[in-house]
């Protein structure tokens, strides 16, 4: 049921972003576009990249869930983590490409990126984090005794993040999707969130707001960009406000409508 809801949500959001995605492709990809090439691009984007840049998360999530679930049914934790970490390490060549000097590796990478564009997908990127979620969920009743470990891990991960951020800033690779500090950071942070759930229950109310900001923030921003393409501090502030407050307004309006409908039916009954 949960996966079905995710697929349904992704399909709706994918359709909403198609006009913006098509425009982005026409502006950035130098090929002769026709009906068939656009249809092919839509199929590939639905299964791989999403119809806009941030929607890659959904096909990556869905495919990595299938991969990790298959592995958990057949292998032990340590082998799953090892395999997922190896794939993550291969994917991280995207971030640390400046350090690669082997001609054969460079040639393979160039051929790969010419076809698949990125390693930020459901094979190289997300399985490691999905497996972390599986392990924490399987051991949820034993996590409390590791609270200090999670806290120390979170602090250490923040320090590592600073160091890794400096390294990648001064050594610009193809992209910056893979950061190793995120592995202990996600493990420690999510572990703390799981065991602290009962103490910060009010934060669950923010779920719908954060989800809608993530899903819909680019729609008002892209509409704004149609008339204002300049990169200025004022335009940046407007983009920030639009990307945050428009999705929040949608949630508030939706909640109000649902509340009014429920009140109406109660009165009628």
Q: What is the pLDDT of residue 95?
A: 94
Same domain, 40 and 1: yes
Among 173, 195, 217, the domain-final residue is 195
Domain of 263, in residue numbers: 201-269
The token duo for 122 is 């459901």
Q: How far is CA 57 from CA 7, 127, 187, 227, in A?
A: 12, 12, 19, 28
Q: How many structural domains comprise the chain?
A: 3
Residue 43, in any domain of the structure = yes
Residues 190 and 207 in one domain: no
Predicted confidence (pLDDT) at residue 199 exceeds the cutoff of 60:
no
pLDDT, tens digit, 9 for 90 and up, residues 24-54: 777 777 767 777 877 888 898 899 989 898 9
Alpha helices in 45-175 (DSSP H): 57-72, 77-91, 103-116, 126-138, 147-170
**Cα gap 18→24, rounded to integer Å:** 10
Residue 183 shares a structural domain with residue 268: no
Residue-level pLDDT at 17: 93
pLDDT at 198 over 60: no
Question: Last residue of a domain, which of 148, 179, 195?
Answer: 195
pLDDT of 140-196, one tens digit each?
Answer: 888 888 899 999 999 999 999 999 999 999 998 898 899 999 999 999 999 998 887
pLDDT at 201: 57
Indicate if 147 and 82 belong to the same structural domain. yes
| Nearest Cα residue to 24 out of 217, 215, 218, 176 | 218
Pair 226, 150 in one domain: no
Residue 80 within a domain = yes
Model pLDDT for residues 208-263, shown as the tens digit of each residue: 788 888 999 999 999 998 888 888 888 889 899 999 998 888 888 877 776 776 66
The confidence score (pLDDT) of residue 107 equals: 93
Q: Residue 126: what pLDDT?
A: 95
What CA–CA distance (Å, rounded) separates 97 from 52? 25
Assess contact for 18 and 38: CB atoms under 8 A.
Answer: no
In a shared domain, residues 77 and 9 = no
Among residues 195, 221, 242, which one ends one of the domains? Answer: 195
């Amino acid at each position: 049921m949960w996966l079905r809801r995710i697929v349904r949500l992704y399909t709706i959001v994918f359709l909403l972003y198609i006009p913006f995605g098509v425009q982005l492709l026409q502006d950035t990809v130098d090929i002769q576009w026709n009906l068939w090439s656009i249809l092919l691009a839509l199929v590939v984007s639905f299964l791989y990249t999403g119809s806009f840049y941030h929607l890659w998360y959904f096909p990556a999530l869905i495919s990595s869930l299938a991969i990790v679930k298959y592995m958990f049914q057949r292998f032990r934790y340590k082998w799953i983590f090892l395999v997922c970490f190896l794939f993550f390490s291969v994917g991280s060549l995207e971030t640390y490409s400046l350090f690669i000097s082997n001609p054969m590796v460079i040639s393979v990478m160039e051929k790969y990126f010419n076809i698949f564009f990125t390693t930020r997908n459901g094979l190289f990127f997300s399985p490691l984090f999905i497996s972390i979620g599986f392990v924490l969920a399987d051991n949820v009743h034993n996590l409390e005794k590791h609270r200090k470990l999670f806290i120390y891990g979170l602090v250490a991960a923040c320090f590592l993040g600073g160091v890794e951020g400096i390294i990648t800033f001064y050594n610009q690779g193809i992209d910056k999707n893979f950061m190793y500090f995120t592995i202990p950071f996600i493990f420690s942070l999510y572990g703390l969130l799981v065991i602290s759930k009962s103490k910060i229950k009010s934060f669950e109310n923010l779920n719908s707001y954060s989800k809608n900001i993530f899903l819909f923030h680019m729609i008002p921003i892209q509409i704004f960009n149609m008339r204002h393409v300049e990169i200025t501090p004022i335009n940046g502030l407007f983009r920030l406000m639009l990307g945050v407050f428009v999705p929040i307004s949608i949630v508030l309006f939706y909640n109000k409508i649902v509340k009014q409908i429920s009140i109406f039916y109660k009165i009628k009954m």
